[in-house]
Structures are given as C-alpha cells and as structure tokens.
C-alpha cells in the first residue's frame, strides 16, 4: 500500500449517494479525512468558490494534498489505486471488465433509476418522469439479482469498488418507491456489504 495521505478532504453532502460511496470507501480503507459539508439546498455548489473545484457544480470533490478530483467513481478508482489493496480494483482482465461494467451501471441505470426516483421523492429534485425512473430501477435490480444469485459480490467472490459504487442508491431504493422484497439476492448482497469491516451507513432521507 502506498503512503497514507496527510491532507484528505471531502466536499460532501450527507444525503447524496455519490458522496456516500466515497465516504464508504474512505472508511473501508481506514483513511482519515476532513469532511467539508456543501449546502446544496442553499446553492453553494453553484457559486464561484465551489465551481473552482468542480466546474460542473457536482458533489463530491476529494482533495488529496494538491490534487483536486471530482466524480465519485473516479475518486473510487483513485483511492483504490493509491491507497487500497489490489483486491478493490483487480488487475485481471475479466474482473477489471466486470468492475467497469458495474461502474457504468452505477453512473447510468442506477443514477437514472433508483437514484433519480429517490431524489424526486424525498429531496424534491426535478425528475421528468418518476414512474419511468422507478421502472428503470426495477429493471436494474432484476439484473443485479440475477448476477448475485451466483456471485457473492458484483464482480466476483470478493468486494470491489463496484459494490461500493452501487450500494447506496440500491440500499435506499425504497425511499424512491422501489421495493427490495422481490430481490432476495440483492438483499443478501446488501447485508454482506454492511458486514464489511469499516462499513458506514447511508443516512435515511425524510420526504420533503
């Protein structure tokens, strides 16, 4: 493992699953960091000081010394590569491809499915069609359930950043009106993730 950082700081919003995946990774790796809350409700992410960190105005942003890094999945890759054990980002071609597939699903079907439905339902965020987001969520949960019937984790027998990337919005899918009961393999996977040493929970949201 590489040298531990001296100045990790996370610009964070507590109810964001994108932020939670970074908090979870930091905790699983045992990395201390400074949490810097970003007030999304007040529009802090759209103001010049924050836009200087991430011109897209999105959370999270990670600072590691002089490095400023945006995009939660990119941050997971960075943390696993620089500070983590090889198992979190396996080098074998087949498992590396599986990890990348689930990172893409986290940024695609999960983001526009359970994440979008939850954001609209409990955070009052705009969503063109909540029903369509819920339908996408149910579809991706079926795909996950099929995968996890034969695999302890999404990309093989051991946890990787794929599991970290997908956990939060799946765990909180019911907050967006998407039931987990039809997906026993997904529920068993959530329990395995939650049993990992260093696990930290995704906070529950309250409907606005």
In tens, the pLDDT along 93-105 reads: 999 999 999 999 9
Residue 5 has a pLDDT of 45
Is residue 44 scored above 70 in pLDDT? no
CB-based contacts of 150, cutoff 8 Å, min separation 6 = none
Is residue 54 scored above 90 in pLDDT? no
Structure tokens given for 161: 């950043």
Structure tokens given for 70: 């945006």
State the DSSP code for 11: E
CATH of domain 8-84: 3.40.30.10
Q: How many other β-carbons are positioned within 10 Å of the β-carbon of residue 53? A: 20
Residue 206 has a pLDDT of 62
Q: Which residues in the chain belong to E strands, given as ranges? A: 8-12, 34-37, 61-64, 67-70
Indicate where the chain has its CATH 3.40.30.10 domain(s): 8-84
Say which residue the tokens 């034969």 belong to.
Answer: 150
Provide the mean pLDDT of the chain. Answer: 90
Q: Residues 102, 159: contact at Cβ < 8 Å?
A: no
User: Torsion angle of alpha carbons 30, 31, 34, 40, nearest 10°?
Assistant: -80
Q: Residues 162, 98: contact at Cβ < 8 Å?
A: yes
In tens, the pLDDT along 72-90 reads: 999 999 999 998 777 899 9
Indicate where the chain has its CATH 1.20.1050.10 domain(s): 88-194
On whether the 88-194 domain is CATH 3.20.20.70, my answer is no
Confidence of residue 207 (pLDDT cuts 50, 70, 90): very low
């Amino acid at each position: 493992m590489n040298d531990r950082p001296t100045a990790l700081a996370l610009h964070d919003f507590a109810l964001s699953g994108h932020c939670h995946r970074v908090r979870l990774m930091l905790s699983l790796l045992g990395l201390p960091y400074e949490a810097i809350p970003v007030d999304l409700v007040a529009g802090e992410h759209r103001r010049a000081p924050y836009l200087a960190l991430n011109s897209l105005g999105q959370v999270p942003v990670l600072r590691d010394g002089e490095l400023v890094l945006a995009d939660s999945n990119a941050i997971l890759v960075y943390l696993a590569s620089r500070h983590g054990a090889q198992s979190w980002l396996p080098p074998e071609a087949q498992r590396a491809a599986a990890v990348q597939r689930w990172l893409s699903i986290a940024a695609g079907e999960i983001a526009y499915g359970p994440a979008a439905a939850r954001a609209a339902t409990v955070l009052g965020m705009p969503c063109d069609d909540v029903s369509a987001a819920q339908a996408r969520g149910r579809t991706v949960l079926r795909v996950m359930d099929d995968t996890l019937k034969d695999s302890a984790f999404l990309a093989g027998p051991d946890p990787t950043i794929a599991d970290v990337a997908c956990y939060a919005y799946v765990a909180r899918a019911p907050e967006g009106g998407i039931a987990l009961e039809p997906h026993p393999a997904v529920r068993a996977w959530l329990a395995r993730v939650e049993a990992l040493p260093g696990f930290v929970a995704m906070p529950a949201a309250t409907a606005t």
